[in-house]
Chains A and B, each alone.
Chain A
Amino acid sequence: MSKLVVTAVGPVTSVQDGGRSGAQRYGLPPGGAADRLALAAGNCLVGNPPFAAAIEIGPFSTSFTVREGRVRVALTGAARSADVSGRPVSFNESCTFGDGDSLTLGVARDGTFSYLAIEGGVKGEPMFGSLAVLARAGLGSPFPRPLQAGDVLDVEAATTGAEHGIELPGQDDGPIRIVMGPQDDEFGEATGLFLGSEWKISATSDRMGYRLEGPIIEHLHGHNIVSDGTVNGSIQIPGNGQPIVLMPDRGTSGGYPKIATVMTADLGRFAQIPVGRGFRFKSVTVAEAQAEARAMADLLRTLPGRVRAVRNTDIDDALRNANIAGTAVNAFDSGTWQT
């Protein structure tokens, strides 16, 4: 066993996995990673199942220190500066840190959440099949709350062998695609305003809901409906006319009309839109959204096939021990050691 110590952390950084299911009828939301593709890619790089628990890192700077052995990790999701003792660390590649190494991450650029996947996953006690933190319900493991400086995570010691990289398909930066309903008939002409306007994500957003800033969307018959079930991506319009997109820690039911729902395949991309950046919605049919959902499921299933060995840590270590590491690093850069 090794340990990963949280040495500095901002808010909204927590252990997340694929989430839990089966308890929404009791008011327990699924939780889980906001960007599932990034989580799965990170896990693939360190040989874990796609939705194993990892650390979901919010937009602020964070740092970790390794204790009692070597740890293999991979960073995915929102790009940011990342280094170990001044040596830069690449995103979408695994790397192994030794005892005492510190990983320092800067603020997120062009995104919100980065993922730190750890070989062997995070150790904890699952509830409803998940370690995902849902602070409101006192749920999550190893800590039922966001991470704090000083937290120590038990992790597997790194195995020896090659480090891996993954090529992910380029991301669409078009409008966020939505399926209208289930209560779009509560809005009439305001639907056109909703679809035709530019929106921004407010700084008051969190894993429960992203509040949007833009024109006021007026209701036809007032803003109270009899509470109705919600899904990830439900876009509800409260009394002030400013939409709220429900995220993984949402309430399982809500009393505001829902004009539309973000389609599954765009949920991760939506979750990564930084505060203050303008974006638009585009309405698609259920059939179109389901075709995209199936394509996303295919991509998730075939992620292991996209993983390539990038360099061999055993050789790395041998060279370092032989005190010719500098030469070796150059050799790696030129691709000599790539398999």
Chain B
Amino acid sequence: MAAPSLAPPRLLPSGDTAITVEFCRIIDELANHRVLALDRALAEEPIEGVTETVPTYRSLLVHYDPVRIGFEELAERLSALARLPVAPATRARRWRIPVAYGGEHGIDLEDVAKTLNMTPDDIVARHAGGDYRVAMIGFTPGWSYLSGLDSSLRIPRLQSPRLLTPSGMISIGGLQAGIQCLGGPSGWRLLGRTAVRTYQLHRDPVFLLEPGDAITFYAVDGKQFAEQERAAAHGEWVAQLVTP
């Protein structure tokens, strides 16, 4: 997958207990593959002193204990690992996630359609028709950032972010698509809502999605959404796992 001519990543100190392995500064599918491949390599052959890793769109944040390994040694070993050819993921999980689009569930759908000169149905068809991957999870628990948004749906974030959006928002911002689990501030455009909880305490697993998982969406109506909400409240996944 990775061509040998790819630029080596930059190894940047994030203080004295983490290294940012930065592949690029833009959203790039190949860079994200390399991030996830390095993450897998570290999981398969752990380096003594590395405490946890956080994959993002374009970098892998490697947390470590400076009592057990120093910056220079770890940077060298990460650099060598990152130069290895990118092996495809051996296990790609695929999820189908229901979305109630528009209306009270997706208050920006009409406005997004107007801005992009399409009908709301066009927007839904393009959004639900996409093949996404979880590029990273971050900011708040379960907030899943997806790559794979149709470029015709590229739209700037709101000038002024909303201070509080509901839980379960399916949203887009720039070239990013998202599943926001918890309610909170967001400047992204809200297209719909899902009953799927990517983070739910006292459920097994607490976190449903992993970086690297494949995602497709399908539309449900308000009544189905309400039923799925009840099921989710009882700890059901609601999301369908297509390829375990």
Residues of A within 8 A of B (CB): 21-28, 127, 136-139, 178-179, 181-183, 225-234, 251-254, 258, 261-264, 286-287, 289-290, 292-294, 297
Contacts and interface: CB of A to CB of B under 8 A. Distances in A.
B25 interface: yes
A166 B176 CA distance: 52
B12 interface: yes
B141 A286 contact: no
Nearest to B10: A182
Contacts of B26: 226
Contacts of B55: 25
A127 B17 contact: no
A251 B186 CA distance: 13
A23 to B, nearest CB: 7
A227 to B, nearest CB: 6
Interface stretch (B61-69, B84-92, B97-105, B125-133): B61-69
Interface residues of B, number: 44
A25 B13 contact: no
Give 8 nearest A-B pairs by CB, closest first: A229-B61, A253-B138, A261-B15, A182-B12, A289-B16, A26-B207, A251-B139, A290-B66
Nearest to B209: A26
A229 B16 contact: no
Given A137-B182, A229-B54, A293-B16, A27 B143 contact: yes
Interface string B29-68: 0000000000000000000000111111111110100110
A25 B58 contact: no
Q: Which of A136, A182, A232 has most chain B Cβ within 10 Å?
A: A182
A264 B16 CA distance: 7
Contacts of B141: 23, 26-28, 137, 139
A227 B207 contact: no
A228 B145 contact: no
Contacts of B218: none
A25 B14 contact: no
Contacts of A179: 13, 15-16
B13 A226 contact: no
B86 to A, nearest CB: 19
Contacts of A252: 54, 138-139
A37 B184 CA distance: 32
B14 A293 contact: no
B150 to A, nearest CB: 19
B182 to A, nearest CB: 7
Contacts of B206: 26, 127
Given A23-B207, A27-B140, A231-B14, A226 B54 contact: no
